[in-house]
């Protein structure tokens, strides 16, 4: 799910195919962070169809909405045609150029998904390059710990419906689920053939610190289990699956 062609194709079916973090942030964590942010200029890096633009444009004087998919940006413009303080920029965040003057606040939600380390590093650098000194980064990325928990819960589900521990363990080890789900030690999660980078909490912390960010908080942005499984059983409650929600300032 990570090259530009994928996101060009997805543009028109975006709402059916792509998980909507804005709609599933049931504790309002991102909403609160945006409301309490300071400064006048913001950017949404990897904005998709702009699910966060209403919030950002209400809080900031001007917002740059950046994405490398023309199809996503088209959808974004037409959905938010009445919002006036947004510039839409079709840019690849892996490029080493600066696309606009550094801003006070950057939001980037599930855009750093490429399985290629070179892409991930280029995009982290891009976040740093476009943020003012002391500016705030609000970054959301998939959690590898959550992917492993979901796998564990799936196995438990088998156990509770009478599957033997031996078979449940084979399933947990992936032997019977290779086609569906595979988690590699570098956090690349393969779901139904599509690969996506997932991050460890400590990994994000170290990566941001290496770019001279001061990490203020790394919290779970948790979702209901039905975002992971179709019709999860009633006993499947807390802990819920999550993305990492990171607040960092640029030093």
Tell the smallest beta-carbon distance from residue 84 to ligand SAM (Å). Answer: 21
- In the bound state with ligand SAM, the residue whose beta carbon lies nearer, of 79 and 169, is 79
Residue given tokens 């194709």 in the structure block: 9
Structure tokens at 16: 């059916």
> Please, which residue, 50 or 135, has the CB nearer to ligand SAM?
50
Residue numbers of the site for ligand SAM (CB under 6 A)?
7, 18, 21, 46-48, 51, 67-69, 72, 92-94, 109-111, 123
Only one residue has tokens 């950002």, namely 56
For 86-102, b/e burial (b = at least 16 CB within 10 A) is: bebbebbbbeeeebeeb
Q: Give least dist CB 170 to ligand SAM, A.
A: 32
Q: How far is the CB of 13 from ligand SAM (least distance, A)?
A: 12
Give whichever of 60 and 158 is closer to ligand SAM, judged by the CB atom: 60
Contacts of residue 229, defined as CB under 8 A and 6 or more positions apart, other chains included, come to: 150, 153, 154, 157, 236
Q: Return the ∠ at Cα 19 (arms to 108 and 87), rounded to 5°.
A: 40
Closest residue to ligand SAM, judged by C-beta, is 48
Copy the structure tokens of residue 22: 């804005």
Q: Min. distance of Cβ 7 from ligand SAM in angstroms?
A: 3
């Amino acid at each position: 799910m990570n090259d530009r062609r994928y996101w060009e194709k997805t543009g028109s079916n975006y709402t059916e195919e792509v998980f909507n973090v804005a709609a599933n942030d049931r504790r309002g964590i991102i909403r609160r962070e945006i409301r309490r942010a300071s400064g006048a200029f913001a950017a949404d890096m990897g904005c998709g169809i702009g699910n966060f633009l209403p919030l950002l444009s209400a809080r900031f004087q001007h917002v740059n909405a950046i994405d490398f998919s023309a199809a996503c940006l088209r959808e974004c413009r037409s959905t938010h045609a009445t919002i006036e303080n947004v510039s839409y920029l079709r840019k690849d965040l892996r490029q080493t150029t600066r696309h606009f003057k550094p801003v006070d606040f950057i939001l980037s939600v599930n855009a750093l998904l490429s399985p290629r380390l070179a892409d991930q590093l280029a995009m982290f650098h891009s976040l740093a390059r476009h943020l003012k000194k002391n500016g705030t980064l609000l970054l959301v990325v998939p959690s590898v710990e959550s992917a492993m928990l979901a796998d564990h819960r799936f196995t438990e589900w088998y156990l509770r419906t009478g599957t033997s521990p031996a078979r449940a363990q084979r399933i947990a080890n992936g032997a019977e689920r290779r086609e569906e789900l595979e988690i590699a030690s570098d956090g690349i999660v393969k779901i139904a053939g599509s690969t996506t980078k997932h991050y460890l909490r400590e990994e994000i912390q170290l990566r941001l610190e290496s770019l001279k960010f001061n990490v203020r908080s790394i919290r779970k942005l948790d979702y209901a289990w039905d975002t992971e499984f179709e019709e999860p059983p009633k006993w499947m409650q807390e802990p819920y699956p999550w993305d990492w929600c990171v607040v960092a300032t640029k030093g």
